[in-house]
Amino acid sequence: MSSFTTWDVIRNLLLSVPWTLFLSAIAFLGGSVLGLILLVLRIMKPNSVGRVITWYVQLFQGTPLLMQLFLTYFGLALFGLNPSPLLAATLCLSLYAGAFLTETWHGCVISIPKGQWEASSSLALNLREQLQYVIFPQAVRVSVPPTVGLGVQIIKNTSLASVIGFVELTRTGQIITNVTYDPFFVYGVVALLYFAICFPCSMWGRALECKFTFKH
């Protein structure tokens, strides 16, 4: 019979929350850097590099994240590499986030009225200056809701990293369930912890959206 008390279950699940937050943060940061670089390349070289980026986006949007995690973790082993679950999950989730972010931000950029491009061009600004001073500041306001939404999705998608052995919130719940034989309670607490993480992020995104709308 399990000697786990209710407090033991909650305490161990709480101890795994920082790992979920850590993986989410570095995946979102890595995806943001990658997404921004690909966005600039896509705008500046749409006919050459842009096509390759589009294929990359379609690949990651058109395949399940679970399969991507398996292919990253076991695929690197084919090249003589032995990545840790954390490294494989970080790499995969960063590529996944980068694909979605570059597509989202590209949509925000092209949603800027054509007149803004023409007006900035009439001021003798080159493409880099147009993006930096005119287009990107406006696109940021449009991009807040989908970007925050993707951030919340990444937090929840870190649960899939459990399949490659990374011990985060969901994996900890699985381990505790195997000991306590009480999946309803354990996964109920896991769900509440995910909600406690994601709900404030969603509210923060809504506050940012209202702030930018008010300024606009």
What pLDDT was estimated at residue 6? Answer: 86
Q: Say if 178 falls within a structural domain.
A: yes
- 1 compared with 204, residue with greater pLDDT: 204
Q: Say if 114 falls within a structural domain.
A: yes
Residue pLDDT, tens place only, 82-141: 889 999 999 999 999 999 999 999 998 888 888 887 787 777 778 788 888 888 888 888
Q: What is the mean pLDDT of residues 165-171?
A: 93
Q: Say if 118 falls within a structural domain.
A: yes
What pLDDT was estimated at residue 129? Answer: 82
Q: What is the mean pLDDT of residues 196-200?
A: 94
Q: What is the mean pLDDT of residues 202-213?
A: 79
Helices (H), 158-182: 169-180
Helix %, strand %, coil % of the chain (to 5): 85, 0, 15
Q: Say if 86 falls within a structural domain.
A: yes
Rounded to a whole number of angstroms, the distance between the first and last alpha carbons of the chain is: 61
Interatomic CA distance for residues 129 and 121, integer angstroms: 9
For 48, the token pair is: 């050459």
How many Cβ atoms from other residues are within 10 Å of residue 47's Cβ? 6
Q: What is the mean pLDDT of residues 26-50?
A: 90
Q: Into how many domains does the chain fold?
A: 1
| 21 CB-contact burial (10 Å; exposed 0-12 / middle 13-18 / buried 19+) | middle
Q: Per-residue pLDDT for 201 more than 70? A: yes
Q: Per-residue pLDDT for 194 more than 80? A: yes
Q: Say if 1 falls within a structural domain.
A: no
Q: Per-residue pLDDT for 164 more than 80? A: yes
- 192 compared with 126, residue with greater pLDDT: 192
Residue 139 belongs to a domain with what CATH number?
A: 1.10.3720.10
What pLDDT was estimated at residue 199? Answer: 93
Q: Per-residue pLDDT for 61 more than 80? A: yes
What pLDDT was estimated at residue 2? Answer: 58
Q: Say if 36 falls within a structural domain.
A: yes
Q: Say if 24 falls within a structural domain.
A: yes
Q: What is the mean pLDDT of residues 47-51?
A: 84
Residue-number span of the structural domain to which 185 is assigned:
6-215
What pLDDT was estimated at residue 160? Answer: 94
What pLDDT was estimated at residue 126? Answer: 80
Q: What is the mean pLDDT of the chain?
A: 89
What pLDDT was estimated at residue 142? Answer: 86
What pLDDT was estimated at residue 213? Answer: 64
- pLDDT-derived band at 1 (thresholds 50, 70, 90) equals very low
Residue 178 near residue 132 (C-beta atoms within 8 A) = no
Interatomic CA distance for residues 126 and 161, integer angstroms: 43
Residue 151 near residue 3 (C-beta atoms within 8 A) = no
What pLDDT was estimated at residue 121? Answer: 78
